[in-house]
Amino acid sequence: MEYLNIVIIALFILFLIWRILPGKGIKQITTSELKHELKDKNKQFIDVRTPGEFGSNHIKGFKNIPLQQLAERSGSLSKDREVVVICQSGMRSNKASKQLKRLGFAKVTNVKGGMSAWS
């Protein structure tokens, strides 16, 4: 019985690590690096926060596509152009980045720290 508890705890820890770690092939940038990226008109900038969060504070040039709607609205994005994703803390954008990779987007970049790190 104790062995089973250890296995369950280990699996839970692995699951948490898997959720937090960046996905394979996903570029990670800081908000300082983002300031330089914003000048690139060939990139698509997506904010996956809720419309309320986006409305209260967002970065000019970012399009709001809430995480819950990303799969159904991904058709509005070009798979040939890099997608830069942001959220409030970097967790939802990391999840969104993984989702975009699964949907066939080749170049995906996640902004570490999200809007909380933006100054």
Active site (catalytic) residues = 87
Specify whether the CB–CB gap between 62 and 77 falls below 8 A.
no
Q: Is 75 exposed, middle or buried (0-12, 13-18, 19+ CB in 10 A)?
A: exposed
> How many CB atoms are closer than 10 A to CB 49?
24
Q: How far apart (Å, rounded) are the C-alpha atoms in residues 113 and 89?
A: 5
